Amino acid sequence: MLKLGVNIDHVATLREARYRGRSHGDPDPVAAALICEAAGAHGITAHLREDRRHMQDRDIWKLREVIQTRLNLEMANAPEIVAIALKLKPDIICLVPERRQEVTTEGGLDVVGNERAITETSKKMNDAGIEVSLFIAPDPAQIAASARTGSQFIELHTGAFAERFTGPDTCSSRREEAHSSREQSESLLTSAATIQKDDELQRLISGAKQAHALGLKVNAGHGLNYVNLAALSGVPHLVELNIGHSIISRAVTVGLSAAVKEMLHLMETYRGT
């Protein structure tokens, strides 16, 4: 079964837009995480950035206290954040590149150029009972280097695939969704078949196969939404999808619980081969 990890960073982004620097404020990302769990999400993802632009330390510690599924801490390989993670003990960390000017994480981690440092951090985490995932582009050299670091997972960066997706427009998909969620699923599967030869999709397929052969487990995320998700049915060996922005955006219209359930419904067709 393909699992769903919901990234709640953008809930905190909305809160910080009005309540930055305060010890309270709405919406509460921790409350949002609990709603996602109750709706069937298999895990919660949160990114504690060095500049604390959205998630705050108090959020992360509260999440560790209340999450009953799986807490995935996205983080830069920075000494301060590494130290926090070792104390927090999330179920898994995902090392990502981090730049101050970006709105959300862009691009994959350069494992080849930072293999020694990443290997050291992976060992520290594994010794503490924390699994490690590396957020990388589906590049053969990066995948091979990831396997050498001792990490258990990679998370394939699906951003380039999402940007090149040529499926139906969002508005028409929403109309289909309002009419029948099952009809939408069938429509999306049909549109997915039209892009099976897309270069970026093929890169994801090849990357997943290579990683699996090297003993790595494979997650995927970035830019995935209700329209392009079905196209990933051709990517083998996926364990979990980490999705945030599209779910939080959809929640504005239908509510968070319904948004999570809709995404889970679309994921039901995945067979892993």
CATH of the domain at 80: 3.20.20.70
The 8-class DSSP code of residue 69 comes to S
Residue 107: predicted pLDDT: 66
For 62, the token pair is 């509260």
Q: Is residue 153 part of a domain?
A: yes
Q: Is residue 242 part of a domain?
A: yes
Mean of the pLDDT values across residues 123-139? Answer: 98
Q: State the pairing for strand pair 71-75/43-47.
A: parallel
Do 150 and 95 contact (CB within 8 A), yes or no? no
- Looking at the structure of the chain, the number of domains it has is 1
Q: Is residue 273 part of a domain?
A: no
pTM, 2 dp = 0.87
Q: Is residue 21 part of a domain?
A: yes
Strand partners, 218: 154, 238
Residue 22: predicted pLDDT: 86
Distance CA 236, CA 103 (A): 30
Residue range of the domain that includes 110: 3-267
Burial class from Cβ neighbours inside 10 Å (0-12, 13-18, 19+) for residue 233 reads buried
Is residue 102 scored above 90 in pLDDT? no
Q: What is the pLDDT of residues 159-217, one digit of tens each?
A: 999 988 765 544 444 434 434 455 555 555 445 444 444 889 999 999 999 999 999 99
Burial class from Cβ neighbours inside 10 Å (0-12, 13-18, 19+) for residue 177 reads buried
Q: What is the pLDDT of residues 17-69, one digit of tens each?
A: 999 988 889 999 999 999 999 999 999 999 999 999 999 999 999 999 999 99
Is residue 100 scored above 70 in pLDDT? no
In one letter, which amino acid is 256? L
Q: Is residue 272 part of a domain?
A: no
Active site residues: 47, 74, 222
Scored b (16 or more CB within 10 A) or e, 48-61 reads: bbeeebbbbeebbe
Beta-carbon-side half-sphere exposure of residue 58 (alpha carbons within 13 Å): 7
Q: What is the pLDDT of residues 41-53, one digit of tens each?
A: 999 999 999 999 9
